[in-house]
Every structure is written in C-alpha cells, then in structure tokens.
Chains A and B, each alone.
Chain A
Amino acid sequence: MDVLVLLDHHPAREGSAPRSTAAELLTLARELAGDPGAVHAAWVGDDGHGAAAELAAAHGADHLHLVHVEGADDRLTASVTDALRAVLAAHPAPLVLLASTFEGKEAAARLAVQERGGVVTDATTVEVADGRVVAGKAVLAGSWATRCAVTGELAVVTVKPHALRAAPVARPSQPQRHEHRVEASAAARAVTVVSRAPRPTSDRPSLAEAEVVVVGGRGTNGDFAPLEELADVLGGAVGATRVATDEGWIGHEAQVGQTGVTISPRLYVGAGVSGAVHHRGGMDASVTVVAVNEDADAPIFEFADYGVVGDLTEVVPALSAELRRRRSS
C-alpha cells in the first residue's frame, strides 16, 4: 500500500526544520507500506529542502515531494491541503498520515472533505485489517479505548506524538525527488496574512514533541522554578494546567489539556496538579505518569503510575538534586 506523509516543519533560523513527529510518521508509513508499497513524503514550502531530503532518506522514503504554493501563503491550512491534493493527484495513495496538532487536524479535515475520505484524529496505533485502515485511540478523557475503521475512499489519520519510536532504516534510501507548483485554491487566496511574528521560544524542547514534560498546577502557587529545574535535569519541557496559565504564572502556550496542547510524552510529571478531566484528556496518552500532590484523594492518583503524596516544594527540588547527584557520581 502506498502511504503519503506530510512532513511537519517549523520555521527556524537556519531554514525550516522538521518536527520530531515527521520521523515517527515516516517510520510508521514504512511499516504500513510494506513491500512493494511506496512511502511518499510531502514537504510544503520553499526552504528546508536539504533537511527534508536527509530526513526522508534516513527513514526510507521512496519519494520526496517538494511543493511550492502559488498565490497564497503556504503556511495556511488551506494551502497545505491544496499541496497534498496536488501530490495525491499525481501519485494516488489510499492513506495519508499527518501529525495530530491543531493544524494537522484541520488539514486532515479539509483533505478528507475534498477527497471524500474519512478522518481519524489522535491515533496511537494504525494498522490495516481486512483491507481497511483501522486506527486506535483513547477517548472520553482517556477513559475509553476505541478502534475506528475508515470506510471512505481515502483514509486520513492524524497520529499523536510518541505513538511509536522513530527508527532510521539500516541503509538510507534515495528518494526520488518531485517538484510541484500548485495554484492555491480560492479559499486559500482569500486569506491575507497581515502580520506574523514567531512566538518566543525557549531552549527547552517543544511541549508537544518533548519526551519528558514536567507540569505545574495551582499547587505551585506560582513558583515554577523547581519544575523548570527538574525539566532541565530530565531534558524535558515545562507545561501547566489552565489554572496556572489563567493566573499568568506561565504563558498560555504551556497549557496542557483538552483545550491546550495535547501531549503524549514518555514521561509526564505533574506537580500540584489535581488531574481534572479537562486536563487528563490532554495527557492521558503519556506513557508513564508520575504525580506529586499533597492531597491523597486527588484524582490524578487514580491514573498515575507512580504517585507521591507530599509537598511539591520539598519533593521536587529533592528529586532534581538526587538525579543530579546520580549523574555526577
């Protein structure tokens, strides 16, 4: 089966750089495509082509499609969808994989509407059963597990970060390079980008992609320093509950939950977080959940792998110190 992957990327000083999910999707596509199925990788935009080629080769893609969008801003969801449609028109594939970000879901929705396909979002598994694409996902704030089949002509699946580990192929492939020029659709052309400014970035990994996320809630009482220290020891990102972002203790972009960033890191550490259902829905796919909360009845202990009932102002700094001590010995 042929599989098309959208290579998600973000602007960087040295040209656009792929997000870590792109490698994961290529790995998944390679698995699903099998032999003789082909993996098609699509990169929308005019820079970062070197990084795209390297990534595609390292993960065994057979084709790399570099798409230039004419007549509209190429970062708009509508433009990205126009680009994917052009690639599909030239190289039909029954399955398209995208990263499960808000932008990825929107592109998936548009593509499926226009190509009469079906979409499953937030998948953590994707398989082919009886000739149909079947995706597994957790729903209802992580309390139910479902398997959904796509019955449309085209399956569009958005996959959560860390659903699988990216694995470079033993011998890099030599993807065939295709350049596409696409006329943007009227809906894309109609939108004018009046201004665009990069959001301030930190030196920590991005929340959605980080392998480790340390989250602070109301229990931090506004002091995120111990959490930042722990995140740095673990090489992770810092997140927050909505209470913490509403209080202005940390920027809104740090909000983890149903209406913030959905995360699925290998390790989630929640400190002073109660584990409210709105929050849980955005983090329950985390592989390992550790909680520090002074209230033994906090709901987070119902779904934490390892819970410490205690005061975070003592436990968190002590943990950072202990981890540091082990490193240096």
Chain B
Amino acid sequence: MRVVVCVKHVPDIQSARSFRPDGLLARGGEDDTLNELDEDALEAGLRLVEAHPPAGGAPPHDVTVLTVGPAAAVDALRRGLAMGATTAVHVADEAVAGSDALATARVLAAAVRHLHAQEPVDVVVAGMAGLDGLTSLVPAALAAELDWPQLTLVDRVDVADGPDGRTVSVRRETSADVEELTAPAPVVLSVTDQAFRARFPAFKGILAARKAPVTVLDLAALGVDGASVGLDGSTTRVLEAAPRPQRPGRVVVTDTADTDAVVRDLADYLAAKGFA
C-alpha cells in the first residue's frame, strides 16, 4: 500500500504573523512549523498502514510525506519522517512562490501523478486546513485536478481488498449528517482534527530523520510549466493587506460586588444593539 500525505510548512500561529508589502504572507520565520493539522493527516496515514501489516513476502508499505514550498519547508518533511513517514518528497522551485491554493493544488497534483507513475498510490491524505491561509480548498482542488474521488473531513478510514481491487471506506460528519462512504482507490482524503491525535516522534526517529534522504523535485521534473503556477499562474491576487484596527470603543467592567449593576449595564448595552 502506498499513502501520500500532503504536509505544509506554515508560520507558527502563536507568532506575530504579517503580510509583506507585495501582499504575500511573510514566511521563513524561525518559528515556522509543520501545519499542526497535517500531523493528524500523517497520523491517519500511519495508522492505516499499521492496521494492515504486509502479508509475508509482500513489499513493505510506503508512507510518503509531500510538500510544495521553499527550502525551509524541508523541516516539515523532517518532522514527518520523525513521526514515521518512510519517504519524503519536496517540490521546490522559484516559480512556485506566490501560488494561491488552486495553483498549489496544481503542483501537488503533478507531484502525485509523478509518484503514482513510479509506484501506484492508493490514498492521498491532506489536513483539513492550512493554519496560514485557512482556505480548506486544497484537498478538493487536488481531487478535482487528479480526477480521483474525494472523501473529505473524515474521522475514520479503512481500506479493504476485494475482487475488484482496493476500496477505501470512511466515516464523516457533514453539517447535517453522519455518513459512511466508500470509493475505489486511489482517492484523496482529508481528515478532521478530531480522531487522529498525532503521536510524538520518538527520539530515535528524530535522529534518523535528520539524516534521511529527501527527494527534491523541480517543476521541470514534474512537467509543469512555471507560468501556470506562482503569482502569475494564480487566479487570485491580494490587492491590499493591513492589520485590522482594534474594535473601537471597547469597554471592560469588573464585577466586584454589585453583580446586579454590572448586569443592568450589560443589558442596556445589548438593548442598544437591539438584542434585549
């Protein structure tokens, strides 16, 4: 079985994040990390292969961590290797810089196709969102690019082999329903942050990950035209980005002794806003 997990290197969400004058998110800070939600995606991938040890004589499973990003993004791959991924692939190319979600999905799709041609991929797993742009667009866009079935925001996943090939089954909660879905492999999954609480890498894993090889691919290796990605290949553009001013006229009152008075003032405030 081959699982590819898409992982992104993002600015630490607890740090002071900002935009550059050209409208792109400032990246490459010391605190940039593996997107936490992608740890859950990797956890889901690892559990999937661990649940199905290869039969005697069969080749070992492969869990590939894949990232598209600048040189520093290799840290996200090393973190993935430390957690237990077996292979790491880094798509790095100057022309990728400034790609929006859809352009990123285009590059990821080309990389997945490249890997699939080398050794068939059964499942691609993504996180539910990148904690930077928080668009949640990439998994569905990637599935559409590949024209593979999408099974998104799942909290349970399994695979089974049948006479017609491999089937992936999932459980998911939509805004209205709880669903169980199946689709033939290969598929694109995304996982929620509910069910796959990620493991901590063991010390041994961290050491090994430092020395593990990382395959670096550029756009030419993937057959992607540089003009179709990056800033120019993106179909959205940030025109303006500015820190939001604090909410004006903020009030903080302290309830020391007279709760009734505090609550009366608050009720007046709500009434003035039309809520009481």
Mark A residues whose CB is within 8 Å of B.
10-11, 75, 77-78, 81, 101-103, 105-110, 112-114, 116-122, 134, 138-152, 186-187, 190-199, 206, 208, 212, 234, 252-253, 258-259, 266-267, 277-278, 281, 288-290, 296, 301-311, 314-315, 318-319, 321-323, 326-327
Min CB distance A304 to B, Å, is: 7
Are A144 and B242 neighbours in the complex by a CB distance under 8 Å? yes
What CA separation (Å) do A289 and B252 show in the bound complex? 12
B63 to chain A, nearest CB (A): 23
Which of the residues B140, B177, B192, B267 comes within 8 Å of A319, measured between beta carbons? B267
Asked whether A194 lies within 8 Å of B182 as measured between CB atoms, the reply is: yes
Listed stretches B91-99, B211-219, B229-237; interface member: B229-237
A187-B150 in contact given A146-B238, A197-B178 (Cβ < 8 Å): yes
Query: Which residue of A has the minimal Cβ distance to B37?
Result: A259
Q: Is B55 an interface residue (CB 8 A)?
A: no
With a cutoff of 8 Å between Cβ atoms, the chain A residues found around residue B17 in the complex are 140, 143-144
A146-B241, A303-B246, A323-B267 given as contacts; is B259 within 8 A of A318 (CB)? Answer: yes
Max chain A C-beta neighbours (<10 A), residue from B192, B234, B236, B243? B236
Assembly CA distance A102 to B148 (angstroms): 19
**Contact flag A310-B254 (CB < 8 Å), given A102-B153, A186-B147:** yes
Which of A194, A259, A306 interacts with B128 by CB under 8 Å? Answer: A259
Can you name 30 A-B pairs with beta carbons within 8 Å?
Answer: A10-B176, A11-B177, A77-B150, A109-B139, A119-B137, A121-B137, A139-B241, A140-B18, A144-B18, A144-B19, A144-B241, A146-B19, A146-B239, A146-B240, A146-B241, A150-B236, A191-B183, A192-B182, A193-B181, A259-B37, A259-B192, A277-B13, A290-B270, A308-B262, A308-B266, A309-B254, A310-B259, A322-B267, A323-B270, A326-B271
A95 to B17, CA, bound (A): 31
Give the residues in chain A near B131, CB-CB below 8 Å: 258
Question: Is B125 at the interface (CB under 8 A from chain A)?
Answer: no
A199 vs B138: C-alpha distance in the bound complex, in angstroms?
27
* Residues of chain B lying within 8 A (CB to CB) of residue A77: 140, 150, 152
Assembled-state Cα–Cα distance A143/B244 (Å): 5
Residue of B nearest to A325 (CB): B267
Interface string of B107-133 (1 = CB under 8 A from A): 000000000000000000000110111
Identify which of residues 136-195 in chain B touch chain A, using a CB-to-CB cut-off of 8 Å. 136-141, 143-145, 147-153, 169, 173-184, 192-194
A310 engages B251 (CB within 8 Å): no
A309: which B residues are within 8 A, CB to CB?
252-255
| Closest 6 pairs (CB-CB, A-B) | A118-B235, A310-B255, A152-B235, A106-B140, A307-B252, A109-B140
> How far is A307 from B25 in the complex, measured between Cα atoms in Å?
32
A105 and B252 CA atoms in complex are apart in Å by: 37
Q: B266 touching A306 by the CB < 8 A rule?
A: yes
| Cβ–Cβ contact A187 & B144, under 8 A | yes
**Interchain CB contact under 8 A, A314 and B255:** yes
Q: Which residues of A contact B143 (CB under 8 A)?
A: 110, 187
Distance between B151 CB and nearest chain A CB, rounded to angstroms: 7
Bound Cα distance A323, B102 (Å)? 48
A113→B141 contact, CB < 8 A: yes
9 more A-B residue pairs beyond the given contacts A143-B244, A289-B247, with a C-beta to C-beta distance below 8 A: A102-B153, A110-B143, A145-B242, A149-B236, A258-B129, A305-B249, A318-B259, A318-B263, A322-B267
Which of chain A's residues have a CB closer than 8 A to the CB of B37? 259
Which residues of chain A are near B175, meaning CB under 8 Å?
A: 10, 101-103, 206, 208
- Cβ-based interface call for B44 (8 A): no
Interface pair B253/A307, CB less than 8 Å apart:
yes
Partner of B102, one of A109, A195, A278: A109
The verdict on B30 contacting chain A, using a C-beta distance below 8 Å, is no
- Whole-angstrom CA separation of A59 from B270 in the bound complex: 30
Q: A267-B275, A309-B252 given as contacts; is B244 within 8 A of A145 (CB)?
A: yes
Q: B260 near A: Cβ within 8 Å? A: yes
Bound CA–CA A307/B14 (angstroms)? 23
C-alpha gap A243/B132 in the complex (Å):
22
Contact (Cβ within 8 A) A307 B13: no
Docked CA distance A134–B239 (Å): 9
CB distance from B64 to the nearest CB of A (A): 23
Given the known inter-chain contacts A144-B244, A308-B262, please indicate yes or no for A192 contacting B13, CB distance below 8 A.
no
> Are B144 and A110 neighbours in the complex by a CB distance under 8 Å?
yes
B19→A318 contact, CB < 8 A: no
CA distance A179 to B237 in the complex (A): 36
Residues of A within 8 A of B246 (CB): 302-303
Complex contact A147–B144 (CB within 8 A): no
Chain A CB within 10 A, most for which of B138, B139, B144: B144
Task: Report yes or no: B177 in contact with A267, Cβ–Cβ below 8 A.
Answer: no
One of B13, B19, B138, B239 near A141 (C-beta < 8 A)? B13
B200 at the interface (CB under 8 A from A): no
Tell me how far the C-beta of A97 lies from the nearest C-beta in chain B, rounded to whole angstroms.
Answer: 15
Q: Is the CB of A267 within 8 A of B135?
A: no
* Contact status B236-A306, CB under 8 Å: no
Q: Are A199 and B134 in contact (CB under 8 A)?
A: no
Contacts of A114 in B (CB 8 A): 144
CB distance from B16 to the nearest CB of A (A): 9
A206 to B175, CA, bound (A): 9
Interface residues of B in 69-115 (CB under 8 A from A): 100-102, 105
Residues of B within 8 A of A102 (CB): 136, 152-153, 174-175
CA distance A314 to B17 in the complex (A): 37
With A102-B136, A289-B247, A305-B247 known as contacts, the answer to whether A116 contacts B235 (CB < 8 A) is yes
